[in-house]
Amino acid sequence: EKVAKRYPKLKFAIVDSKVDLPNVASLMFEEQEGSFLVGMIAALKSKSGTIGFVGGMDIPLIRRFEMAYRAGAQYARPDIRVIQNYIGVTNEAFTDPTKAKELTTSQASQGADVVFHAAGTSGLGVFEAAENKKIYAIGVDSNQNWVKPGVVLTSMLKRVDVAVFETIQQAKDGKFVAGVHKFDLKNKGIDYAVDQYNKALMDASTTTKVEQAKTKIIAGKLPVPDYYKEKK
């Protein structure tokens, strides 16, 4: 914000924050929509009736993932049990796979057989623990299905790559637009991943139910809880 004011002729873009200036594009994502869908997938695939969530730093953004994940799981299966843990309260929480592995192992010992992480590179520890305990993990942000095929059930996609590319393309073409740019299920800025690495894990029944929910969310017929709004 300070630098954008200092260079009013230069164009800026920022991810996950709103800066109300005429030369700044704020790229915002509806993470809760994708988290809701992977929560459904976790609940539908769980055999134990217990699933887990491992967050990185305990901040509102990550709480947003957790709240919607829990809501999606309960929407698909009202009796589901959700265990959640956060790695820490500093930025180091996103780069601590050892702690993430410990938390996932603990959740598995409590019966969780699917664990969703929103923990940056700490998530690699979630994948390791899931492989060791023979349970499923769910990736985040980018498509992480390839990291451990057969272990990673799906990934909640947050297409920062698409948002950044489109913004640069607009600037290049002289069509830069300041203000808030929202990325969600409707414009495919948010989604869940199905590819050659996890296709066999996603049975038709699960996919059908999740796609039906996606359609309802896009149409505004299925409200998804948003931590940013709930905490106010």
pLDDT tens digits for 70-114?
A: 999 999 999 999 999 999 999 999 999 999 999 999 999 999 999
Phi and psi at residue 229, to the nearest 5°: -85, -35
What number is the average pLDDT over the span 24-51?
A: 98
pLDDT of residue 148: 97
The amino acid that residue 70 corresponds to is R
Kindly give, in sequence order, each residue whose CB lies less than 8 Å from that of residue 76, ignoring residues fewer than 6 positions away: 39, 40, 43, 44, 209, 213
* 116 CB neighbour count, 10 Å cutoff: 34
pLDDT-based confidence at residue 119 (cuts at 50, 70, 90): very high
pTM for the model stands at 0.94
Sign of the CA dihedral 135, 189, 80, 53? Answer: positive
pLDDT of 232 higher than 70:
no
Q: What is the mean pLDDT of the chain?
A: 97
The C-alpha atoms of residue 73 and residue 71 are separated, in whole angstroms, by 5
The whole-number pLDDT of residue 230 equals 84
- Token code pair at residue 19: 């800066």
R_g over Cα of the chain: 18
Strands 190-192 and 152-158: antiparallel
Give pLDDT, residue 55: 98
DSSP state letter for 20: -
